[in-house]
Amino acid sequence: MRKIGVIGLGHVGATIAYTLVAKGIVDELVIIDKNQDKATAEEYDLRDTLARLDTFTKIIPQDYQALCDADIIITAFGNIDSIRMNGDRFGELKFNMQAVQEVAAGIKSSGFNGVLINITNPCDVITTILQQQIGLSKQQVFGTGTFLDTARMQRAVGQALHEDPKNVSGYVLGEHGESQFTAWSTVEVKGHPITKMAQELALDLDELDQQARRGGWLVFYGKHYTCYAIATCAIKLALAVLSDAHLACPTSVYLDQYQHYIGYPAVIGRQGIIELNPLKLTTAEQAKLDQSAKTIKEKLN
């Protein structure tokens, strides 16, 4: 029996819920939103798909106690309008700092002891607070973090070199926000270091980094939210947990040296974070990671 809870049914949460049902990934799906009308609408829209699917999913609406035996909870609550006003993911901090109290209390009261995957922005800050307030281990809680930003880097590099983005490997590290950066020393295209290719092909890596960042804002300013890419990231992480895949990828994980969550490579499996995947960064990249951590810490404080 595979059971997942989705808390927050905005564009991202609703897309995740639909994907879980349409692909038959879960047997039971708990959906929760502060807006009762929205929760009811999503519940019945999902129920109305079941007669046309090859699988069946039990839909359980608005019940924190039903999360008790869930394998995974995905938190996607938020207030997208606050980002529209200032163009910064930290714009959601004031609203979500209030919402996180209620969500954490509900999860804790349910007795949930599975894996929690957070999407809510600012991702690294909210993931840190959720872990602290719910009391789950740091291995059981992680955020989508720079998993999405790394996909955007892969897209930008792939476009520049006319390559499938899946042929691009490497990491975007740090905050899921403005202080993130591409660790170019980790990036390869079909096994070839991009730093060497950049010299041979006269690639501007700083410009590629900016293109990766701008891609997300192009989506945001065009339709006023993002949903497909981040939902796909969340689904992939959830599947890694359900199937104990030992997926190596960058997520928002707890690093002892910073005392909070930040985008960094880890291995994902049934218990959540199985292990970290330490990198040998350049001096400049390490400095950028330290600075990004400082930015997250300031917001936490």
Residues that constitute the known binding site for substrate: 84, 89, 121, 152
**Do the Cβ atoms of 125 and 301 come closer than 8 Å?**
no
- Numbered residues of the known binding site for NAD(+): 8-13, 33, 96, 119-121
Compute how many other C-beta atoms are within 10 angstroms of the C-beta atom of residue 122: 25
Q: What are the C-alpha distances in Å from 15 to residues 42, 49, 152?
A: 10, 14, 19
For residue 99, the Cα-to-chain-centroid distance in whole angstroms is 18
Annotated binding site: 8-13, 33, 84, 89, 96, 119-121, 152
Annotated catalytic residue, options 162, 176, 192, 246: 176
Whether 7 contacts 75, CB under 8 Å: yes
Give 201: exposed, middle or buried? Use CB within 10 Å, 0-12, 13-18, 19+. Answer: exposed
Task: Indicate left, alpha or beta for 124 from its phi (over 0: left) and psi (-120 to 50: alpha).
Answer: alpha
Does residue 162 carry a catalytic annotation? no
In angstroms, the Cα distances linking 298 to 124, 127, 148, 301 are: 12, 15, 23, 5
Phi then psi for residue 186, to 5 deg, are -100, -10
Assign 131 to helix, strand or coil. Answer: helix
Q: Give dist(CA 228, CA 145) in Å, integer.
A: 16
Annotated catalytic residues are 176
